[in-house]
Each structure stands twice: as C-alpha cells, then as structure tokens.
Structure 1
Amino acid sequence: MDIGVLLPTGTAQWDKGDDPRELVAFGRDAERAGFSSLFVNDSLITPRVEALTMLAALAPATETATLGTAALLPFLRRPVQAAQSLASVDLLSGGRLTVAVGAGFPGRFGRPLYTLSELPWERRFTRLDETVALWRAVWAGADAFRGDILRFTGIPPGTRPFRSGGPPVWLGGATPAALHRTGRLYDGWLPYPPDPADYATGLHGVHRAAAEAGRAAGDITPALFVSVRVDEDTETGRRALDRYAHATYGMPLTDLERIQAVVAGSPEQVVRGLRSYVAAGARHIVVRLGAVGLRAQRDQLERLAALLPAVCDGRQPSAITTAEAIPAS
C-alpha cells in the first residue's frame, strides 16, 4: 500500500509571501513523514512551477519516494524532447519516476491548451497513446517510429532511463475507452471517481481489458487521486475544502465532489473514507491536501501523516501521534 502527496506547485495553493523554493523542503519532509510518493500537476492555464522542472529539483533532494506526475499533459511538449526530459528525471532520481498522463478535458483545461500547443483537439487520445509508444521506443534506442499521427526517422541516440524500458506510465480517466486503453497499453490507472463503488467497477474493466490483451492484472498499478482535508469534524473540513475548490477551480465543493473523489472530516472519518477506496482495490493513493498556503498545507501534511498507519494497516487513528509521523529535521 502506497500513499503519496501532490505538492502544491500552483500559485492558487499559495498565500501571499509564500516562497516556492520551500517546495523542495516540503517534499523532503513528506518523504520523512512516511509518504511513499511525491506527485506534481501539469497545466498552462493555471500558473505553477513546471512539472518536470519540479521533479528534477526533487530528484537529488529525496532518496526513496516515487516522483510522479498527476497528470502530465504530453501534448504540451515536443514528443521526442519529452522522452529525453523524462529519461533524465528517471536517471537523476535513480529510477524513481512514474509518469501518469492525460489528454486534457473539454472546457478551459482542454481545447485552449491544444490551441496554444498548435495541435488539433481531434484524435487526441490516439495522439496520447502514440506519444507514449514513441517514448518507449526512444527509451529502447529506436531510431525511427511510425504511427498513424506521429512519424519520425533518424532519431538520434538519447539519454537512456535508469530502468530498462523506462519509467512506468499510468493513464488517468475512467471512461469505458480509458479503461480499455489502460488494460491494453498502460502500467497503471489513476482515476478520481467520487464513489468507491465506481472505482471497483472501473478496476474490473481495466483487468478485463488486460486479460483480453494477454496481460496479468498485477502488471497494472491501481492508483487513486483524491482531495483530502483532516479537521475537527465534517462541517469544518468541508468549509475549508470549499475555499480550496473556489481558489483552485473557481467552483464550489458541491460541484467538485460530483466529478472528483473528496474525503473530509475528522481523522476517523478520513481514515474510513480512504479505506473505502482501499477496499475497492486502490493500492497507490495520491492525496491532494485541501488547504491554501504553504503553512496550511504543512499542517494538513502533518495531520494526514499521523493517519498513514491507520489507512495502511488498520491501526486506530487515536493510537498514532503527530510526533511519530514527522520526525524532527
């Protein structure tokens, strides 16, 4: 069971006066607190520290945590250059990179980004799958690639990743087509369904597609992306998450939780909520901390770190202290 944290790399998660250089120390502290992975988001719409730049900074500053994207938007980058950048981060981190990818969404997080990238919105899923296939070919040393959309010859030798075959690549999304593509082509699945029952159903679909492609269910990491707020009670937690939803997405919590997994409340309620996804099959949970400002993010990191054993091995939340969770620097 792995539990990771999404670093607050976007300016929407910062207070006035926050120093983004503190994000490296934030990642180190999260690793020491017991979080097994550090993830970053990717966008051109919301100002943020660029995803691969952030992971490159974390690579020498951390030792054991998986470094991941949740999710990288490959269409924002030239595909061969992206293969080189990803291989470099994997190399610098000693093989700790995991790349979750997506094709973007309709609305402000989709078409405008494709326009800025000078790419067509149409056939975006084919382009995504071919980009990942191209990366894997480049990482293996291929000098040419021929797909329906992407075609390259004379590819020069590039940086080889730390691991043979390159870092694992996960897919976000829970549509029937995404489940099928995950089972056939990807190394992991990173959705955010609001209902654990939908997670279980989706994971079954991934496994069915994998079996049809001759793959084992164990070849695919079942992950989950979820927003979490640990507070005194549900009402207090939901109020704080509502502020976060407005700051990050410009929408109320009631709208956000209809499309994304959200867990908020007392320590016991948060543990119960996360365990419901574990029971549904999730084995790598990526948590977005529902707080604005690096100080508030650190407070939530501390509170959630105290709950990690309860989520992972069933210990009661009251038996875990904050002092256990975050050792002194």
Structure 2
Amino acid sequence: MDIGVLLPTGKAQWGSDGDPRELIAFAREAEESGFSSLFVNDSLLSPRIEALTMLAALAPVTERVTLGTGALLPVLRRPIQAAQALASIDLLSGGRLAVAVGAGFPGRFGQPVHALSEVPWERRFARLDETVALWRALWGGATSFHGEFHDHAEIPVATAPFRPGGPPIWLGGATAAALARTGRLYDGWLPYPPDPADYRSGLLDVRKAAAGVGRAPESITPALFVSVRVDDSVADGRRALDAYAHANYGMPLEELERIQAVVTGTPEDVVAGLARYRDAGARHVVVRPGALDLASQRDQLRRLATLLPELA
C-alpha cells in the first residue's frame, strides 16, 4: 500500500507565525522519509497556496514521489489553460503527476465556489466529465473540440505532457453516480468514506462499472483520503482533531467524522485503523495530518513515517 501525505497548504495549518515557504522543506522531508506521494487540495473559500502553483514548486525539488491534487476543482480555472498548466507540471516532474478532480458538494463547500467562478452549479458533473475529456483530447494532440459546454473549432497545438495521453485522472466522491463515473471514465478513485465497509462496497461498484464498459477493473487505482492524528491516546487525538475540524471546517469532529474518514490514537491504533481500509481494498492512502501549525505538522509527519513499514 502506498502512503502519501497532504501538504498543509492552508493558512489554518501554518499557525499564527508560520511561513508557507517551509512547505518546500516539508515536502522534501516527506520524500526522504519514504512517503509515496505529496498531495495538495484546492479551494477559493479559505486562504491557501494555490494548488497548481504548489505542485510546480515541488516538481524540481523532488525526484520520486507522485505529485497529486486532492481534489482539483476544474470549475476554478479555464479548461484550456488548466490543461496547459497540468501538462507543464507533468513535464517538469518527469511524469509524476496524478490529478484527482471533484465537482464540489451542495452547501457552503460547493455552491459559493461556482458563484465566485461564475459557472452554473447545475449539471456540474456533466461539465466536469466534459472538461476532463477536453484535457485528454488536447494532451493527445487535438486541435478542435466540440462538446455541450466547450466548443472550439480551432485550438493551437497544446503543450504535450511527459506521458503520452497525459497524467492519470482520478475522481473523488462516493455517490452512486460518482462510482459509476469512476468506473466508466476515470483512472482512479479518491473518496473518504468514514466506514471501511462503504469503501469496500464502493470499490466493488467502481469495478463493476469498469467491467461493464470493457475496461480492466484492476487498472483503476483504489485510493483513499483520510485525516490522521498520531497521539498518546485516542482521547488526546480526538481533542486535537476537534480543534482541527473547527479551524478548517467550522464544525466539531463529531460532525466531520460522519462525512470523512478519520483515524487517531496511538501508533498501534493508527496502524489498525488504516489497515481496515487496506483490507477493504485501498492501495494508495493520502493522509492529512491533523495539526494546526507547521511545527506540529512536521511532528506528525515524523510520527507517521515510523509507521510506513507496517502500513506498506
């Protein structure tokens, strides 16, 4: 099982006196410690380092790790310019980019982003699928594209990514429609279900959908996004994660863990919690350290690094 880490690109994770330029050293330490990937998330709703800017900064200072988005919101960017930026990062990293995408969720974490981007909320998943199709067409050398949302009779030759056809594109989300889309159209699945049993059943549905359209089910990367806190006890970890949930989401941990995967406790507790997802089929786990300043983020990174041999 590959273990990656979500970089603390949001201001809420830097601390009051944190310097985001330390993220470069954080990323290099993660790679040297044996983590398989470095992911960044994407939003306009809180101060943070912009996702593609962060990955472009990481490409020349890392050598081995996958660089990923978890999840990129294509609605925030013009699709042709986004295809150019993603191809450029794939080139600069030597083909180490993985692009997990999402369409947002109803309520305060989704609709305001569409309003700020002046893109209709309605039919957002169809727009997402077509945007991904446009990216893939451009990366394959297309000079025109005709779709429902994007219609271009003439497009200049785009920057070609490092890998023929472009980087793999994963989908976040675990609704029935998202599972079917993943199986039909995407290269990987990056959900965060609170219950490993839901992960197992969701992965089965993804693979059934893939087989139904003649795709090899095992070709779709089964990934997982999970918030993790290694602490002296489960109670201590939950207190720290409660503060984290309030700072990042404006909600208590009890509410957050109803919608997102959360694992905390002693090293043994964390290994056991993540192993439940491994047993459910996850093969690339992206952990988000639950800490509210960069020093604590580094401490969590080092604690998690000691668990990598057992988890892998």
> When the two structures are superposed, what TM-score results if normalisation uses the length of structure 1?
0.94
CA distance in structure 1 between the aligned counterparts of 2:136 and 2:219, rounded to whole angstroms: 16
What does residue 71 of structure 1 align with?
A: 71
What does residue 54 of structure 2 align with?
A: 54
What does residue 266 of structure 2 align with?
A: 266
Query: Could you report, residue by residue, the CA deviation over 1:280-321 in whole angstroms, capped at 9, with x for unpaired residues?
Result: 000000000000100000000000000011111xxxxxxxxx
CA distance in structure 2 between the aligned counterparts of 1:183 and 1:134, rounded to whole angstroms: 19
What does residue 127 of structure 2 align with?
A: 127
Tell me if 1:207 matches 2:191. no
What does residue 249 of structure 1 align with?
A: 249
What one-letter code is carried by the residue in structure 1 that aligns with 2:244?
A: Y
CA distance in structure 1 between the aligned counterparts of 2:147 and 2:89, rounded to whole angstroms: 26
CA distance in structure 1 between the aligned counterparts of 2:185 and 2:140, rounded to whole angstroms: 16
What does residue 157 of structure 2 align with?
A: 157
Deviation at 1:103, TM superposition (A): 0.3
What does residue 44 of structure 1 align with?
A: 44
Query: Could you report, residue by residue, the CA deviation over 1:121-151 in whole angstroms, capped at 9, with x for unpaired residues?
Result: 0010000000000000000110111112221
- 1:1-329 alignment, distance < 5 Å: 1-312=1-312
> When the two structures are superposed, what TM-score results if normalisation uses the length of structure 2?
0.99
What does residue 318 of structure 1 align with?
A: none
Moved more, 9-18 or 295-304: 9-18
Query: Could you report, residue by residue, the CA deviation over 1:13-56 in whole angstroms, capped at 9, with x for unpaired residues?
Result: 11111110000110000000000000000000011000000000
CA distance in structure 2 between the aligned counterparts of 1:153 and 1:70, rounded to whole angstroms: 32
Flag as ranges the 4+ runs of structure 1 deviating above 2 A: none
Structure 2: unaligned runs, 5 residues or longer: none
User: What SS class does the counterpart of residue 165 from structure 1 fall into?
Assistant: coil
Q: CA RMSD in A?
A: 0.5
CA distance in structure 1 between the aligned counterparts of 2:185 and 2:159, rounded to whole angstroms: 23
Query: Could you report, residue by residue, the CA deviation over 1:185-208 in whole angstroms, capped at 9, with x for unpaired residues?
Result: 000000000000000000000000
Deviation at 1:10, TM superposition (A): 0.3
CA distance in structure 2 between the aligned counterparts of 1:242 and 1:32, rounded to whole angstroms: 30
User: What SS class does the counterpart of residue 60 from structure 1 fall into?
Assistant: helix
What one-letter code is carried by the residue in structure 1 that aligns with 2:309?
A: P
What one-letter code is carried by the residue in structure 1 that aligns with 2:207?
A: H
Number of residue-to-residue matches in the alignment: 312
